[in-house]
Chain A
Amino acid sequence: MTVLASGSDVSWSQIFNFTDYGSLLSLVQNSIIAGALLGVVGGLLSTFVMMRDLPFAVHGISELSFAGASGFLLAGWSVVAGSIVGSLVAALIIGALGVRARDRNSIIGVLMPFGLGLGVLFLSLYRGRAANKFGLLIGQIVAVDDSKLTTLASVSAVVVVGLALLWRPLTFASVDPELAAARGVPVRILSPVFMILLGLGVAMSVQIVGALLVLSIVCTPAAAAMRVTSSPALVPLLSVAFAVTSMVGGILLAVGASVPITPYVTTISFLIYLVCRGLGVLRARRATGAVAAA
């Protein structure tokens, strides 16, 4: 065991610890599957979150999702259900009231602290296990039992199938809503429908990475992918690959450690972004050169 700094009782083994790794892995098998599912959902959603400029909305939705989850926890109901209810309420409010970007941001700014406050209230009143409480804010990996995994898998299926169906018109509407409307794309209906799918995805993410860090899965992956490619087919694929890597990699590193999963996921996600951003600078230089030469 190496001591990080003298006078401190923090040690590396709290952060990286692979003793009995094999037996620990079998314990978190469900979490790894859940993490991979979340990676797929988050990676796909983040493509549209970036194209529609919704990162702040994602954060707002996750705080209300947290409020819903903690409310249901206090009442003794399903945390996942509460999380979904909170998410959908937030997504629908933001979708209905915030059509223009400025309105949307102010509504989110108003909703977000309220949701967080409600959640804190519910958690303070809750007398159960403390891990349940903070897991909702900062993430947890041990808590995925079979029934929860089934729920997460069903929600993932709904989001993925929904996105696949909407893919082309939603892309069109995200790139140029006015042109899309002229071509008969039902722009006004697509927006709330996408918010519902986003709400479902965010509710899932809250279960694993926690409300405060949802953006690392539902924004960062596509933000990174868009730095290295402009192909509309490659961005979602890379984004999914990045999100799955962050999630599963984060869980694998966190298994033996005594700190929550979150810092691992967010750090991997952030490192991927940094690398992509670096590559993006080179790529932009090349592309500008190509345009100038053309």
Chain B
Amino acid sequence: MSHSVLRLSGAALSYGARTVWSGLDLDIVAGEFVAVLGANGSGKTSLIRAVLGQQPLSAGRVEVAGTAARRGSSQIGYVPQQRRIDPLTPMRAKDVVGLGLDGHRWGIGRPDPHRRARIAEALDAVGAGHYADVPIGLLSGGEQQRVRIAQAIVAGPPLLLCDEPLLSLDLNSQRTVTTLVDRRRREHDTAVLFVTHEINPVLPYVDRVLYLANGTFRIGTVDEVLNTETLSALFGVPVDVVRTAGRIIVAGVPDAADCVHHETDVDSDDVVPVRA
């Protein structure tokens, strides 16, 4: 645990008169796993976009590996939520991983053994080496997510940004994804910012939690944030937090009525009935 990989200082974001969050100070150091929780419209997606340099802040700063967040930063590996890929897409698993290395560069590129080796290494790291040559559209949702993780880590970024990567995956695949992300940060000291609706799949790995709600937030360890007292104060209504058999169940979280709708937030709403 050492230097800061992602630093938000005095960060604020407003759309018109509505403040999504403000006064956000967060320092994620190398090897740290931080989960971001919050209801729809609490600004999880906006936070991701700010870190990616796609959303300017209203106030404060975002720094990734010491420099201000900007579009296309090579310091970030981005794992999005699972989406269906057309079966006829002319890409094999290894080609998709290759996009993470040089998909943003102009021109057509040329054959490069060093490039091939890095791609193979990334695929092996996520246990997807044996389907390197299989068309991406023929892989299952869970297999595709492995490939996306390989794509995110192939350039060796110090920060992994995971934006609801577990959505629409079965439990087994969810476990695979979380294990892989955790293993990467342990073996390569990668910092992880993991946006999720559901804390339980990442519970064994999380160092700290950032809970966004009502234009404000709480940061701390799971025990510090996910308890009846803190969440009731955060939401301004009584919220029950129950721990049972290694799981956390949060009941009574009000739906954000005046939320800013983000596409990812809206369709994720139907998937997970109990929010943590």
Residues of A within 8 A of B (CB): 47, 50-51, 164-169, 171-172, 175-176, 178-185, 225-227, 229-232, 235, 284, 287-288, 290-291, 294
Contact = CB atoms under 8 A, between A and B. Distances in A.
A287 B108 contact: no
A169 B100 CA distance: 11
B246 interface: no
Contacts of B83: 176
Contact of A287 (B73, B88, B91, B138): B138
B108 A178 contact: no
Contacts of B194: none
Given A51-B89, A230-B135, A185 B103 contact: yes
B88 A168 contact: no
Interface string B136-149: 11110001000010
Given A166-B106, A168-B108, A232 B71 contact: no
19 contacts: A165-B106, A168-B104, A168-B108, A172-B99, A175-B85, A176-B85, A180-B103, A182-B52, A182-B54, A182-B80, A182-B161, A183-B78, A184-B104, A225-B90, A230-B91, A230-B135, A231-B92, A290-B131, A291-B131
Contacts, number: 104
Interface string B77-110: 0101001010011111001100110111111110
A185 B72 contact: yes
Contacts of B114: none
A84 B73 CA distance: 38
B237 interface: no
B90 A47 contact: yes
Q: Which A-B residue pairs are the 8 nearest by beta carbons?
A: A184-B72, A172-B103, A230-B135, A235-B90, A182-B78, A167-B108, A183-B104, A184-B71
Contact of B138 (A164, A168, A288): A288
Contacts of B78: 179, 182-183
Given A183-B78, A184-B71, A168 B91 contact: no
B242 interface: no
Contacts of A166: 106
A169 to B, nearest CB: 6
A232 B139 CA distance: 17
B103 A169 contact: yes
Q: Most B CB atoms within 10 A — which of A166, A181, A183, A291?
A: A183
Given A51-B89, A178-B80, A185-B72, A294 B131 contact: yes
Given A168-B105, A171-B99, A183-B100, A51 B138 contact: no
A169 B102 CA distance: 9
A290 B96 CA distance: 19
A232 B104 contact: no
Contact of B109 (A168, A180, A181): A168
Contact of A185 (B92, B104, B131, B148): B104
Contacts of A294: 130-131, 134
Interface string B143-178: 100001001000000000100000000000000000
Contacts of B90: 47, 50-51, 225-226, 229-232, 235
Contact of B88 (A179, A182, A226): A226
Interface in B36-72: 52, 54, 71-72
Given A175-B89, A226-B88, A230-B90, A291 B106 contact: no
A230 to B, nearest CB: 4
Contacts of A165: 106-107
Interface in B170-222: none
Nearest to A223: B88
Nearest to B135: A230
A287 to B, nearest CB: 6
A235 B139 CA distance: 19
Contact of A291 (B91, B96, B134): B134
B73 A184 contact: yes
Contact of B106 (A168, A181, A226, A227): A168
A51 to B, nearest CB: 7
Nearest to B87: A284
A226 B106 CA distance: 24
Given A180-B104, A182-B161, A185-B72, 18 more contacts: A47-B90, A50-B88, A164-B107, A165-B106, A167-B107, A168-B104, A169-B104, A175-B89, A175-B96, A175-B99, A181-B54, A183-B72, A183-B104, A184-B104, A226-B88, A230-B91, A284-B138, A287-B138
